[in-house]
Every structure is written in structure tokens, then in C-alpha cells.
Structure 1
């Protein structure tokens, strides 16, 4: 059975991948290739993963009694490319 922490780690990984694909593949294709199809294709899943990441971060932060500084760093990681991977490596693996 998956714990909440593992579900959050999976969500963080998928959110990070979807964000990178959106920023570095879909958006350049939209503007340089004049084809918005990929942004439309990746936008909705990324949005749902982003919302799930935020919700799980708040719930997990409450359960693990993160202080506000840690919670804010985890939440900011959702808007910085590659940062969700850093959160997983530096914070979540330590608490295994």
C-alpha cells in the first residue's frame, strides 16, 4: 500500500516532468513551430498535477509537522523547473 508520502513523491515527479515537457518542448513548438497542439495536450495534465502537488504538499506538511519555511520552499518548488526533483532528493528521501 502506498503511503501519503509516496503518493506525493510520485505526484511531484510527474508534475516536474510535465512542467519540463511543457516549458522546454511544447511552448517552443507553439511559438517557433506555430503549432499550439502540444501546449493544449500537456497543459491540462500539468495543471491537474500542479493542483495535486499543492494539495498533497499541504497535507503532508501538516502530518510531518513541517515548519512554515520548509512548506513554503516545497510550494515554491512547484513553479521552478527541476525544483520538485530537488525537494524529493533533499527532503523526502531523508525522511524515509
Structure 2
């Protein structure tokens, strides 16, 4: 048997949720009872977040964080303290940290 950790990262009501097959950006309603995945680019990562952590070359982290939050910038600026800039910085630090 293998145990698999499926981390989700929460940035206010914008959540990056891991599944066995990848990770998806979802925008939850204010009560967190429903969500939308309808973004212009429908960003999907092909691996769970934990599999990516510490594996992305430092030179690609900024571009990846920019891309992941591109379609939800307004939502983050409205509902997340520090807005999209803080969310990108936190995601970059989390993904770049190989020590769990």
C-alpha cells in the first residue's frame, strides 16, 4: 500500500486543489460551499502539488506562479490580504521549498 498526500493551498476563496492526477485552480463562493473552475485558460497542473514541490527549476517558478494566478488576479486582489502579489510570492516559496 502507498500513502499519497494531496495538499490543497488556500488563498482566500481561490484554492489550488490536488487530486491523484493533478491540481486545479478553483474559485469558491464566499460561503465556500460551491466553486467554479471556469477560468479563461482553465489551468491544470499535471501532478499533485506535493509531487511538484522542490522539483521546479528556480528559473521557472516565477513564470509558473504568474500563469497559475493569471485568470484569478481580480478575485485575489479583492478577497485575499496582499492580493495577487502576495499569493504569487507565497506559492513560489511553497513550491520552491523541498523541505516538507
TM-score range, shorter chain: 0.3 to 0.5
User: Which has the higher Rg, Structure 1 or Structure 2?
Assistant: 1
TM-score, normalised to structure 2, is 0.33
TM-score, normalised to structure 1, is 0.34
Kindly indicate which of the two structures has a greater share of residues assigned to strand.
2
Higher normalized contact order (CA 8 Å, seq sep 6+, divided by chain length): 1
Kindly indicate which of the two structures has a greater share of residues assigned to helix.
1
